[in-house]
Amino acid sequence: MDKPKGNEPTFPAPILVGSGPSTDQAVDFLLTAIERALKEDEWGLQHPLEGEISNWIEEAAQKPIHPGASAAQATTNRTVERDVLRQSLALNVDPRSEEEQQIATLLSNISPEDAQRLTSALHSNDVEGIQAAQSAIVNKLGERVKDGMTPTRAAAFGAIVGRGRAARAAALCLLLYKIDPTVLINRARNGDVQAVLNLIRLDRLFLTDSCTAKVIREAEFQNDRPFFRKLATAVKYKPQLGWKRGCRLYLYILFAMGQPLPPLVKLQLRVDPDGTRFRSFPAFERFVQRCGKDFENIQAHSLAEHRPVSKPHDI
């Protein structure tokens, strides 16, 4: 194997599963960013997107993941926060698409100054500062993507944005309902009213999605006023999210990567360095155990729901 050049850092594993101060800093930034990102229900709507969120979610579930792929062009003066953003972006990129990888390289080149401004605003919960930092980053990156725009590049960019929107909805689904979003999508297509309402609570794009169309059409035909009252409530729903939900999602990420957890004492210091979020170490230990069981149940229910039903002539 060729050795990397001295000025080209390597990314042998996602930074979130490493050890030491850099990983602690990365996790702290991730938890702060997650809480903010999940509250932004208009994420991605400023970009014209083609397709449906149900398809984006299902396609993302089938897409191969190469963690850190979009970070290949990182510079030696990178920051931990920039690495987290790069590797998060890599999860939304299809490694089989050269066009998407090229766009990811353009999008991943965030200046250290912009990253620092965003980080500071997130930590201080400065809403105006967060919006200003995000706008500055988006405007700069948007100019790079527009340069030399072609129909193929536009489609690739739309695919990345769509998967980002799907990732937000999927994360909310795991945290709020402890169920795989593809399970809810299948149930909605089969006429499950509660699944339809739950999906719309996750993202209003499900209002016009084909997976919810059957239930909504039938309700319109029957003039089902109770359903439309519930639908109006679902559209206005704002998820109650806190730091602990982000911590749960971080653990789900570790479980999904198949990475062994660090000693729980070190893990608690990583996610709760001030010791103010969990009453005691046993409380944190129970939290991790519950998250592990929930993740196993999510996977088991997903496999059971998607398992083909055997017919008599198949036996």
| Residue 268 resides in a domain | yes
Distance between CA atoms of residues 268 and 147, nearest Å: 45
At residue 71, the pLDDT reads: 36
| Residue 22 resides in a domain | yes
Residue ranges of the chain whose pLDDT lies below 70: 1-20, 35-36, 39-49, 63-78, 108, 141-142, 307-315
Pair 124, 231 in one domain? no
Give me the domain span that covers residue 305. Answer: 243-310
b/e code 212-245 from CB counts within 10 Å (16+ = b): beebbeebeeeebeebeebbeebeebeeebeebb
Q: Are 211 and 191 in contact (CB under 8 A)?
A: no
At residue 66, the pLDDT reads: 52
Pair 97, 223 in one domain? no
At residue 216, the pLDDT reads: 96
Burial class (CB in 10 A: 0-12, 13-18, 19+), 60: buried
Pair 47, 162 in one domain? yes
Give, for 143, the enclosing helix (H) or strand (E): helix 127-146
At residue 47, the pLDDT reads: 55
| Residue 45 resides in a domain | yes
At residue 83, the pLDDT reads: 73
- Of the candidates 75, 82, 86, 58, the one whose C-alpha atom is nearest the C-alpha of residue 8 is 75
Pair 227, 279 in one domain? no
At residue 293, the pLDDT reads: 95
Pair 256, 202 in one domain? no
Count the domains in the chain: 3
